[in-house]
Amino acid sequence: MLFLALLGALAARAGGADVMPGAIRVTFWGALAMAITAGVGALFGTVV
């Protein structure tokens, strides 16, 4: 999660956008993607 926030902040800074919203956006959507992946894995009984 820390690296998601860091990469979001770096990408926002590189693109000339506000750093905090960029970090929050990437962290939120990255965490959501990980949760969905874990949920699908648990649904099908596989390790992901």
Question: Residue 6 — pLDDT band, cuts 50, 70, 90?
Answer: very high
Asked whether residue 29 is domain-assigned, the answer is: yes
Count up the domains in the chain and report the number.
1
pTM for the full predicted model:
0.82
Q: Over the stretch 12-30, which tens digit does the pLDDT of each residue have?
A: 999 999 999 999 999 999 9
CB atoms within 10 A of CB 30: 16
Asked whether residue 18 is domain-assigned, the answer is: yes
Q: Is the dihedral of CA 29, 34, 35, 39 positive or negative?
A: positive
Asked whether residue 13 is domain-assigned, the answer is: yes
Half-sphere exposure of 15 (CA within 13 A, CB side): 13
Asked whether residue 48 is domain-assigned, the answer is: no
Longest distance between any two alpha carbons in the chain, whole Å: 43
Provide the terminal-to-terminal Cα distance of the chain, rounded to the nearest Å: 17
Asked whether residue 47 is domain-assigned, the answer is: no
